[in-house]
């Protein structure tokens, strides 16, 4: 009987970690649906070694390899996977790793992938599942992730020129090798939607694509296993990383900044009147004023300058500046309160005692 190997390949920042945690915690449910999520070469609920073995064999190195050092060849590792699929009691075997998406970045890795999948035994069908979001939000989320992982990175525009790999904005480069190898009909592409009001939407969508209904008993609220770093502190942490600050110092600043931002967010007044209503009222007031002023006031110029809020980016920047100033003031106070005269007196006393011991 034919078996199916499903490769869930990401993309990065599309809820892959949440899905992987769900798969690993609900293996009984999967088995009842004829799907196995094996522990073969699995670490932290994902099967990234299958990707890392190919990337390593292709000569890829760097921080995104996460110190991967296993010497098992791709042919051997993927051969073990194919043997596992053949002997699995389930009709379908599912493995998942967003690192698989990175293979499309490197032609050498693509050729290795083509070889290991091309050598699979007869009777094993390959299906690919990939989630995608619009390139702008994906790129911004990945840039945020690089900073969160303490990987030094340039400003966003510079990073797009080389530090951020093409697969994060060029979906043809990311997916064409998989479509070419597996065939278009065997590659399922799904839109990623992050709905805070429905945290199980992604899980339901994934299983619906496999013709499996996710029971309500398994649709429960779960904490985000890979929460996004607050964008308001990302740039500050990026600069600290690039300046070579110790990781402990960076983490300390990160924690204090997030605490400061949480306090500031809690102080925000509830919006009583929408800005559009305020602008409409101001416009009505100018219409009335035009009748009273008889042309003595530049009403049209006034109308071009109705009340408006500050841009979100400016508000966030000002909040971050407030945090930096707060840190500076606290540091200055600690320095001023440091008992330097007392420290000098104690040093003098110690030196006097040492001198007495030497003389005796």
pLDDT tier at 75 (50, 70, 90 boundaries)? very high
Q: What is the pLDDT of residues 189-230, one digit of tens each?
A: 999 988 888 888 999 999 999 999 999 888 877 778 888 898
C-alpha 31/C-alpha 50 separation (Å) is 22
Per-residue pLDDT, 133: 94
Mean pLDDT of 128-136: 95
Per-residue pLDDT, 225: 83
pLDDT at residue 270 is higher than 70: no
pLDDT at residue 346 is higher than 60: yes
Enter the tokens of residue 129.
């599942």
* DSSP-derived secondary structure for 156-180: HHHHHTTTS-GGGT-HHHHHHHHHH
C-alpha 78/C-alpha 49 separation (Å) is 10
Q: What is the 3-state secondary structure (H, E, C) of 230-298?
A: CHHHHHHHHHHHHCCCCHHHHHHHHHHHHHHHHHHHHHCCCCCCCHHHHHHHHHHHHHHHHHHHCCCCC
pLDDT tier at 315 (50, 70, 90 boundaries)? confident
pLDDT at residue 310 is higher than 80: no
C-alpha 136/C-alpha 22 separation (Å) is 27
Average pLDDT across the chain, whole number: 89
Mean pLDDT of 124-133: 96
Mean pLDDT of 319-336: 77
Mean pLDDT of 255-264: 86
Residue 88, burial from CB neighbour count under 10 angstroms (0-12, 13-18, 19+): middle
Q: Note the pTM of the prediction, 2 decimals.
A: 0.78
Per-residue pLDDT, 263: 83
Is residue 168 within 8 Å of residue 98, measured between CB atoms? no
Both ends of the chain: CA-CA distance in Å? 94
pLDDT at residue 68 is higher than 80: yes
pLDDT tier at 339 (50, 70, 90 boundaries)? low
User: Looking at per-residue confidence, does 334 or 46 come out higher?
Assistant: 46
């Amino acid at each position: 009987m034919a078996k199916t190997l499903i490769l869930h390949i990401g993309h990065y920042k599309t809820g892959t970690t949440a899905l992987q945690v769900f798969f690993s915690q609900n293996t009984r449910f999967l088995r009842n649906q004829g799907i196995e999520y094996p522990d073969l070469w699995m670490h932290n609920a994902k099967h990234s070694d299958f990707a890392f073995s190919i990337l390593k064999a292709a000569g890829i190195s760097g921080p995104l390899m996460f110190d991967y050092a296993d010497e098992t060849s791709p042919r051997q590792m993927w051969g073990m996977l194919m043997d596992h699929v053949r002997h699995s009691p389930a009709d379908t075997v599912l493995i998942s790793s967003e690192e698989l998406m990175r293979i499309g970045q490197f032609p050498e890795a693509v050729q290795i992938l083509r070889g290991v999948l091309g050598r699979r035994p007869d009777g094993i069908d390959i299906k690919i599942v990939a989630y995608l979001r619009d390139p702008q939000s994906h790129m911004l989320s990945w840039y945020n992730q690089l900073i969160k992982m303490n990987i030094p990175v340039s400003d966003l525009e510079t990073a797009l020129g080389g530090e951020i790999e093409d697969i994060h904005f060029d979906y043809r480069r990311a997916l064409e090798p998989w479509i070419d190898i597996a065939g278009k009909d065997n590659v399922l592409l799904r839109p990623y939607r992050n709905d805070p009001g429905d945290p199980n939407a992604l899980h339901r969508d994934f299983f619906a694509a496999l013709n499996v209904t996710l029971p309500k008993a398994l649709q429960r609220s779960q904490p985000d296993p890979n929460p996004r770093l607050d964008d308001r502190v990302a740039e500050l942490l990026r600069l600290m990383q690039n300046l070579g600050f110790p990781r402990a110092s960076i983490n300390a600043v990160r924690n204090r900044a997030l605490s400061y931002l949480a306090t500031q967010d809690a102080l925000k007044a509830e919006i009583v009147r929408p800005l559009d209503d305020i602008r409409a009222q101001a416009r009505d007031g100018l219409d009335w004023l035009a009748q009273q002023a008889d042309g003595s006031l530049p009403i049209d110029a006034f109308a071009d300058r109705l009340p408006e809020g500050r841009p979100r980016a400016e508000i966030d920047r000002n909040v971050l500046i407030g945090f930096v100033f707060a840190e500076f003031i606290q540091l200055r106070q600690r320095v001023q309160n440091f008992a330097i005269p007392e420290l000098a007196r104690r040093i003098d006393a110690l030196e006097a005692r040492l001198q007495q011991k030497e003389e005796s």
